[in-house]
Copies of this chain bind each other. A is one copy, B any other.
Amino acid sequence: MKEYRYQQIAEVFEHQILKEILQPGNKLPSLRTICTENEVSLSTAIKAYYTLESKSLIESRPNSGYFVAYAPNKFPGIPQISNPCQSVKPKHIDELLAMVYQKYNKEHTDLSLAIPAKELLPVAKLNKELIKASQSLTDSGTAYEKVEGNERLRRQIAKRSTVIGTQLNVQDIIITAGCVEAISYALRATTVRGDNLAVESPVSFGMLQLAQDLGLNVIELPTHPQTGIDLEALKKALETQEINACLLISNFSNPLGSCMPDEHKKEVVRLIEKHQVPLIENDVNGDVYFGPQRPNTCKSYDQSGLVLWCGSISKTLAPGYRVGWIEAGKFANKVIQMKRFHAIAGTSITQEAIAGFLETGRYDHHLRKLRQTLHANSLHYSQAIGDYFPDGTLASRPMGGSALWVELPLKHYSLNLYGKAVQQNISFAPGGMFTLQGQYDNCLRLNYGVVWNDQVKRSLKLLGTLAKALG
């Protein structure tokens, strides 16, 4: 993706602020100086500062200019690599989930999900595409779509695959009802009841419940909050146990926010090829990166067809449209058959609407804005945790997605914090939801997809106060 001049200028300052070369309170060069030194227009200079301001890195003071507003040393430390136990009989987490995902009143600050707030979605533009779709489809979407899915949509997804470091074929893309259906088919195509499934730990409860429902033994492996699954642990598991499939969120995992470096992705693919174990790659967050470019995927290193790459637009456009996809490698026929038997086809109209939206090129424009907002939010949330939470609190530093993983310096808060928070109209996702091993009781996941405002700030402050009182 081409970088604009203003982005380049902003990045230089961002780097200097994050590395504490520029320190809180330092005055920044005037806009005029920026223009002269970089040979850019005034509007470019303003845009560069606006970018930094939107991320809360700098602030403008009336009649004084721009100042560094961000103190990295006030940020919480990053948690250690996880240390999942494997001894415990798998627990059901249904009750915990039912407790968390109940109906709250409107005043409630709900930080328990992992999706962007509706204000961040291009609702009006999608609506237009929906109406266009009802006109462009021959039978206005009343007829069955092909089992593989809408042709235009599949073409758009194949076209976009260059950004994930590969070139997928249109005929290999299968549309599904969201990423979850893609993963459901992938698991059912690669495993049978009683098989062993290797996953990150902590891991999205959706993946855990899906695996449990299919009767799989979940092998939770140590995972680093920045680089993802521990390669040594994965290697050992593959060598010493019968692992029948792996399920990894390669980019911006949920809940950790980790992103596997390219070298790790390459190594994982080498490992699964060596052991001939299919890898289900959940790439639902891949487009929501905060760095200069979209991260690669394991799929891009896959020569053997063992990687089943799954994605969707649920985290970037419209969860309620239920549009996702899978490139299932050598399992493609099995997945198509399964979809034919269990669903016949997906909803016609929403597929066509998303195809139209992607064709206009609006998606990239929308993603740029979404990423910028979410990145800024992640910094706001992190800073608030540094400011308000108990000393010794650790937090992940996600470079994409919308989930923040927080480790409290308490041995067990045992849902006490959750109970007290709900009384104050705040909810979050307790750490125990992200394992079947009864761990992570001192952790929580926050959704910074919720728009940053004073209410959220107050809620985080209150949450910190409640946590301190428990300590």
Contacts and interface: CB of A to CB of B under 8 A. Distances in A.
Interface of A: 94, 115, 118, 121, 123-124, 126-127, 130-131, 134, 139-145, 177-178, 180-181, 184, 192-193, 206, 209-210, 213, 317-322, 337-338, 340-350
A461 to B, nearest CB: 28
Contacts of A347: 177, 320-322, 347, 350
Contact of A184 (B140, B210, B342, B345): B342
A383 B178 CA distance: 47
Given A123-B139, A177-B347, 4 more contacts: A130-B349, A180-B341, A180-B342, A319-B345
> Within the oligomer, what is the number of copies of this chain?
2
**A contact face: mostly helix, strand, loop, or mixed:** helix
B344 A143 contact: no
A349 B320 contact: yes
Nearest to A208: B341
A337 B94 contact: yes
Contacts of A343: 177-178, 180-181, 184, 322
B213 A342 contact: yes
Nearest to A318: B142
A145 B320 contact: yes
B344 A178 contact: yes
A139 B318 CA distance: 9
Contacts of A140: 123-124, 126-127, 130
A251 to B, nearest CB: 20
B337 A349 contact: no
Contacts of A210: 341-342
Contact of A320 (B143, B319, B340): B143
A320 B127 CA distance: 19
A118 B141 CA distance: 11
A347 B178 CA distance: 10
Contacts of A346: 177, 322
6 contacts: A94-B337, A130-B140, A141-B321, A193-B193, A320-B345, A320-B348
Closest 5 CB pairs of A and B: A320-B348, A142-B318, A347-B347, A184-B342, A209-B341
A134 B130 contact: yes
Nearest to A131: B131
A332 to B, nearest CB: 15
A124 to B, nearest CB: 8
A252 to B, nearest CB: 19
Most chain B CB within a 10 A radius of its CB, from A118, A320, A346: A320
Contacts of A145: 320
Contacts of A134: 127, 130-131
B130 A213 contact: no
Contacts of A127: 134, 140
B341 A206 contact: yes
B322 A345 contact: yes
A229 to B, nearest CB: 22
Nearest to A126: B142
A347 to B, nearest CB: 4
